[in-house]
Structure 1
Amino acid sequence: MQMDADMKVGMDTDREEIKTAPVIISFVVAGFIGLFSETALNMALNNLIISFGIHETTAQWLTTGYLLTLGILVPVSGLILQWFTTRHLFITALIFSIIGTFIAAIAPSFSVLMVARVVQAVGTGLLLPLMFNTILMIVPPQNRGKMMGIIGLVIMFAPAVGPTLSGLILKNLSWHWIFWISLPVLVFALVFGIYFMQDVTKPTKPKIDLVSILLSTLGFGGVVFGFSSAGEGGGWGSPTVIITLAVGLISLILFALRQLKMKQPVLNLRAFQYPMFTLGLVMVVLCMMIILSSMILLPLYLQTSLALSTFAAGLLLLPGGIINGLLSPVMGSLFDRFGPKWLVIPGIIVVTAAMFGFSTITVDTSSAFIIGLHIITMVGVSMVMMPAQTNGLNQLPRELYPDGTAIMNTLQQVAGAIGTAVAISILSSGVESYMNSVDDLTNPMNQLLAFTAGVQKAFVFAIIIAAVGLVFSFFIKRVNVDQPEA
């Protein structure tokens, strides 16, 4: 039996009492800086390797640790949202982000910077589910597309400009300034939120099941860590990868079985009973795999095959990111008017075509061709991501909003780890296969051609993922937002 909505989350706050604009602005500013610093630091890895005298695999822990923290925290965010008010969670998330950013800015060693990244991830892990849940609560279903589009602008624009701005910062200043520049903006977001953030839910403090939290931690943490380790060069045959993936998958199965039997689950998997939510989740997961695999393949290709600098590579990828961000509100408005089908199907076709184009790139491919394909990819993604996500969340009853947003955000992190790991594995396999077919292994040109061949094969993987998405897209239907939410 499904519990009464009032007992579940107490979401009876009148939308008319909420001043929507200041609440959204608070989330937009905070979310932008959180996601900006995530990708901005990736461009500084070489500087950090030199500064701290560490190995590449050690430096990658700055990304892996961040993803791992999100993978552990986000699944239980649905429970956290039912224990604390919107204001308290927002302020707590910002405090974690500010503390983490300050520690990173003054970090004298890698270990201190690693701690800072984990603290930052706690802030982001609290903020993202809270942001989506709040929008679902304060924005009527028929207007959510446009609002989700505005949030999509932040989610896509911040990671897009992160590498370019950090490249500019690193050209003139030390990597510490990536965090010093972010810090005052986070403080502004906190002060703004203290004045304007309103409570949109009433905490009901459901029972906490420690066994479920342990299984969730082992499950999602193990899967994210396993795939991240494989993608960082550990290889699929590594004992660490095999053990962590096995522990993760077994724990996830036990976690799912336990949630389905509980009257008050930590993460209510009954959200999967709603077909458009499940279908929207599939589309979002597939898109995230394509986006994040492309985000790691393209910079490597631009810097290795085309011999561009970090800053130049960032500039080439900037137009696509900006266009994607600007199109997100437009696609949101079109979704409100026409529904998801006439956006998602053409969008995934566009993405598939772009991935096919990327699979043909060579060492002689022009920068203009790469920019064009990246722009096409980002246009297609903007047509798929937010419409599919919003349509899926619209089908959920109010009491499942926290669980739906937690599931969406969690599986996006898992999809990112999987997409990145598989892409890097195929890239490495492609390089090895090409080098085994040539006579002169010391010829630099052969090494360059081998790397490019690996990139081509990795984009074939992206084509397959996009093709799967195309098949699913034909089943998407608009959710009737006028029907009473049961």
Structure 2
Amino acid sequence: MPSPQLDTPAMPAAPARGRTPAVIRLLVFATFVVILNETIMINAIPQLMAALHIDEQTAQWLSTAFMLTMAAVIPITGWFLQRVSTRHAYAAAMGLFLIGTALAAVAPSFEVLLAARIIQASGTAVMMPLLMTTLMQVVPEEDRGRVMGNMSLAISVAPAMGPAVSGVILQLGSWRLLFVLVLPIAALITWSGLKRLENVGEPRPGSIDWFSVTTAAAGFGGLVYGLSRFEGGDVRVAAAIVAAGLATIAVFVLRQLWLQKHGVPLLDLRTLLHRTYAIALILMSVAFMAMLGSLMLLPLYLQSVRGLSALETGLLVMPGGLAMGLLGPAVGRLFDRFGGRPLVIPGAIGLMAALAGFTQVSMTMPYWQILALHALLSVSLAATFTPVFTLGLGSVPAPLYSHGSSILSTLQQVAAAFGTALVITVMSARAAALRSTGTTDVLASLGGMRLAFVIGAALSVIVVITAVLLPSRVPPK
């Protein structure tokens, strides 16, 4: 039976001009905490390898599985958010996150820890589209840049801050502290949110197409898993898995097109017919591939090649993450005043310059130079993401907001997982080739990382091209 407290009447979408609605502030805070866990395991990989007796590629699945689970669950949220109240969606998301976090804190083995990460990710997957959909419903168009700038704290700053936060925590104790410390904070946020959160919009009844759910999960998961298999050397098996994943995604797309005419699609693809949204989707996906791939490589370089501790690594990358967070609201206000192009184009160029700089990492690159490149990367991403999210979602009709945010979040996670798997595969293959020629392990790893950074820099060229194609303002609907 529905809870009366969770089914309170929907609040009117009429916030005061220039103020961020309370519902958005609550959701931003909760989303920041849950998304932070997406990358919080990056610095813990060396410790996990020793504690759980696993290799680097196996440990990497604690981050990759998190992203793949989100990619599998998020497509359902477009349908889900239209059929439950805001409070029910929030309770489901935070409940799953709390269960996963508690299980991870006491996990006795890698398999249990992996299951806990999947449960965490299932809750996180609901929070991102819930935040974006609610924002589009309650914030006037003239204020969306400013409020979206605040939202960037959760969507882009949290993944960037994950390695820094985990570096500090790991200095205090074992990897279990990453979950022990998060658990009471998440519990307090859940209690506070359920006490103060009001419903937005009216739920609509409808059935779910489980065939679509299955093909989406199998397709996106198979694609990234197949890519990760290229490292093993059996190219034919890896290529077959990738091809099967792409074929399953094609079946999923065809099913959605059929459901758009004969039923209720799990993911309404008519959002892709809006040019600005489609361009924003491409830019965001490629930028996340480059960003998450680089965030994965940098801690490995600093710890494995340069010999820094997890704490030192975290402190080195923390200024960039803080800069991204502090600049988010300012970027949003600049977007409201000047539009997207004056921000996105310089941001894309800065991203390309930073990743090009990282291709020159060496055994002796000054730490101030690494810090400066990471800060440039963070500032460039801050200038890029807020306008892209605002322009993309603002260009679709209101009835498609939940589907637009679901597609955006789905491809964001798939792109991040794809980018991570790509750079790890390239790095490992190049390092193995160098070792076979007699190169030392450290220099071979360095050579692999430099080539992987070249991949990121090449991807950033696509970001620059798509940035030029974006308009400054949302076209009239």
Q: Under a length normalisation based on structure 2, what TM-score does the superposition of the two structures give?
A: 0.91
CA distance in 2, matches of 1:428, 1:49: 16
Which residue does the alignment assign to 1:309? Answer: 309
Provide the C-alpha distance between the structure 1 equivalents of 2:221 and 2:425, rounded to a whole number of angstroms.
Answer: 20
List per-residue Cα deviations over 1:245-290 (Å, max 9, x = no partner).
2221111111112212223211111111100000111110111011
CA distance in 1, matches of 2:425, 2:48: 24
Which of 231, 241, 245 matches 1:244? 241
Counterparts in 2 of 1:119-130, with a 5 A limit? 119-130=119-130
Asked whether the 8 Å contact 1:424–1:458 carries over to 2, the reply is: yes
Match in the other structure for 1:288: 288
The code of the aligned residue for 2:235 comes to G
CA pair 243-83 structure 1, distance change in 2 beyond 3 A: farther
Q: Secondary structure at the match of 1:379?
A: helix
Confirm or deny that 1:254 pairs with 2:251. yes
* Residue of structure 1 equivalent to 2:467: 473
Q: Does 1:460 align with 2:457?
A: no
* CA 1:475–1:453: 2 relative to 1, 3 Å: same
Asked whether the equivalents of residues 292 and 419 of structure 2 are also in contact (C-alpha less than 8 Å), the reply is yes
* 1:283 and 1:385 in contact (8 A); partners too: no
Tell me by how many angstroms 1:72 deviates.
Answer: 1.1
Unaligned runs of 5+ in 1: 1-11
- Alignment partners' CA distance in 2, 1:126 and 1:257: 24
Q: In the alignment, is the contact (CA less than 8 A) between 2:93 and 2:124 conserved in 1?
A: yes
Q: Aligned equivalents of 2:429 and 2:53: distance in 1?
A: 29
- Tell me how far apart the structure 2 counterparts of residues 108 and 426 of structure 1 sit (CA, whole Å): 32
Report deviation, 1:466: 1.3
Structure-2 separation of matches of 1:214 and 1:39: 26
Q: Which residue pairs with 2:380 in the alignment?
A: 380
Give the superposition deviation at 1:21: 3.5
Please name the residue that 1:134 is paired with.
134
Percent of pairs identical after alignment?
A: 37
Cα deviation per residue 1:141-170 (whole Å; 9 max; x = unaligned)? Answer: 221111111111233333333323323322
Q: Contact 1:68 / 1:221 at 8 angstroms: preserved in 2? A: yes
> CA 1:448–1:105 in structure 2 vs 1: closer, same or farther (change >3 Å)?
closer
- Match of 1:4? none
**Within 2, Cα distance between the matches of 1:164 and 1:467?**
27
Number of corresponding residues: 464
Distance in 1 separating the partners of 2:445 and 2:195: 53
Q: Secondary structure at the match of 2:174?
A: coil
Aligned-partner SS, 1:399? helix
Distance 1:224 1:435, change over 3 A: closer
Aligned-partner residue type, residue 15 of structure 1: A
Distance in 2 separating the partners of 1:99 and 1:306:
37
Question: Residue 147 of structure 1 aligns to which amino acid in structure 2?
Answer: V
The question of 1:51 aligning with 2:48 is answered: no
Offset, 1:44: 2.3
Letter paired with 1:418: F
The more displaced of 447-456 and 467-476 is 447-456
2:223 is equivalent to residue 223 of structure 1: yes
After superposition, the C-alpha distances for 1:325-380 in whole angstroms (9 at most, x for unaligned) are: 11111111111111111111111111111222112222121111110011111111
The equivalent residue for 1:425 is: 425
C-alpha distance in structure 2 between counterparts of 1:431 and 1:52, whole Å: 24
What per-residue deviation string (whole Å, max 9, x for no partner) do you get for residues 56-98 of structure 1? 4433332233222112101121011112111100011111111
Query: What corresponds to 1:24 in structure 2?
Result: 24
Task: For 2:324, give the aligned amino acid.
Answer: N
1:6 is matched with none
* Inter-partner Cα distance in structure 1 for 2:42 and 2:233: 21
Following TM superposition, by how much is the alpha carbon of 1:235 offset from its aligned partner in structure 2, in angstroms?
Answer: 5.0
Secondary structure at the aligned position of 1:60 is classed as: helix
Letter in 1 for 2:63: T
SS in 1 for 2:189: helix
2: distance between equivalents of 1:471 and 1:112?
43
User: Is the alpha carbon distance of 1:55 and 1:377 closer, same or farther for their aligned partners in structure 2, counting shifts above 3 Å?
Assistant: closer
Q: Does 1:159 align with 2:143?
A: no
Query: Residue 258 of structure 2 aligns to which amino acid in structure 1?
Result: K
For residue 94 of structure 1, what is the aligned residue in structure 2? 94
Give the equivalent residue in structure 2 for 1:147: 147
Give the 5 Å matches for 1:342-357: 342-357=342-357
Distance apart, 1:171 and its partner CA: 2.3
Q: 1:199, 1:125 → 2: CA distance?
A: 19
Q: Do 2:168 and 2:314's aligned partners in 1 also have CA atoms closer than 8 Å?
A: no
Query: 1:196 — aligned with what?
Result: 196
1:390-419 deviation line (CA, Å, top 9, x unaligned): 101101000110110011001011111221
How far is the alpha carbon of 1:453 from its aligned partner? 2.6
1:14 corresponds to:
12
Cα separation, 2, equivalents of 1:228 and 1:325: 32
Query: 1:103 matched to which residue of 2?
Result: 103
Looking at structure 2, the residues matched to 294 and 236 of structure 1 have their Cα atoms a distance apart, in angstroms, of: 26
Matches within 5 A, 1:262-273: 262=259, 263=261, 264-273=264-273
Q: 1:152 to 1:214 in 2, by over 3 A?
A: same
Distance 2:87 2:20 in 1: 14
- 1:204-224 per-position Cα deviation (integer Å, ceiling 9, x unaligned): 123322222222222222223
After superposition, the C-alpha distances for 1:89-135 in whole angstroms (9 at most, x for unaligned) are 00111111111111222223333322221211111011111111111
SS of corresponding position for 2:469: coil
**Matches of 1:280 and 1:410 in 2, distance apart?**
14
RMSD, aligned α-carbons = 2.3
